[in-house]
Chain A
């Protein structure tokens, strides 16, 4: 599977590492080359400097042949915009984005984006831990 990941923070880098270790073709996009330090020396994928809300950068990352796109930058709005470009313009079959703000997550889910809010998920998990 060819996967493009936008944002090489802790989550992006770890996901890239896991997928790469399983033999998937991974490209990680970040606007700061310093973020790529999080990728292990064994990483076989591509680390590309570029902005995922820019069509050109997405093309360079091979979005046209990608099977999946994951947006996990720190900015909710950047994730939302990139995910919509990839879904509606490049028609990538699987698009997932992270939205911290639960209300915004809810809205974009109803608009057809596959979106997850770490805020909601983690709060729910902590609550369950406390109750068990």
Chain B
């Protein structure tokens, strides 16, 4: 695959390196001459100095035949424009933008960017996972269905401990897929499965109902 990366900072550099290792054709566009030289020295001639938001630069590097453009500069507005120029001027089939301000996620989606990755949210979620008292963790987004997979921990003080699944007032369309009990094999919960302290429940839910799901499962 031919992939253009806009922005050769830390994210751009490591992304380029990983994608090169996978055998893709990579081109990094970077404005800063020092950074451009660094990438050339480290990865070979895969970096061109230029502004990835400029149609002229993108034309020069053959954006017309690119399979994907990934914009990972530190500025949300630059990433948005790079993706839009790629999409609308060069018909690049897939565009991915890094977002620093999580608020921009909805805006980018509305403006036609295929995939957004919010670095701030990713960091927040990783930290959340490491905070043991936090009962709900995001595991995966199923973007095209508007759903997510989450993990809810049943704490010893949860009022739902000892109750069967059928007695919980779960929000509609929530699916409990798996229960991983302490020292037990993972199992698929049924209506009669009894919740126990330290159980970890993997569930599918729409993002706006996750709080309701957490409340139903932990009883608080």
Contact = CB atoms under 8 A, between A and B. Distances in A.
Provide the main secondary structure of the chain A interface: helix
Q: How large is the interface on B (under 10, 10 to 19, 20 to 34, 35 or more residues)?
A: 20 to 34
A53 B56 contact: no
Given A104-B55, A107-B88, A107-B89, A55 B77 contact: no
A53 B104 CA distance: 9
B103 A107 contact: no
Contact of B53 (A54, A84, A85, A104): A104
A77 B78 CA distance: 6
Contacts of A98: none
Q: How large is the interface on A (under 10, 10 to 19, 20 to 34, 35 or more residues)?
A: 20 to 34
A75 B53 CA distance: 12
B80 A81 contact: yes
A114 interface: no
B54 A78 contact: no
B85 interface: yes
Contacts, number: 51
B76 interface: yes
Provide the main secondary structure of the chain B interface: helix
B110 A107 contact: no
Contacts of A66: none
Most chain B beta-carbon contacts within 10 A, residue among A56, A80, A110: A80
Contacts of B103: 54-56
Given A103-B55, A104-B81, A110-B88, A77 B75 contact: yes
B86 to A, nearest CB: 11
Contact of A53 (B53, B77, B110): B77
B84 interface: yes
Contacts of B84: 80, 107, 111
Contacts of A89: 107, 110
B131 interface: no
A76 interface: yes
B78 A104 contact: no
A80 B81 contact: yes
B111 interface: yes
8 contacts: A76-B81, A77-B53, A78-B77, A80-B84, A81-B77, A81-B81, A84-B111, A89-B110
Interface of B: 53-56, 75-78, 80-81, 84-85, 88-89, 101, 103-104, 107, 110-111
Given A77-B53, A80-B77, A103-B54, 4 more contacts: A75-B77, A80-B84, A85-B107, A88-B110
The 4 closest A-B pairs by CB, nearest first: A103-B55, A77-B77, A81-B77, A77-B81
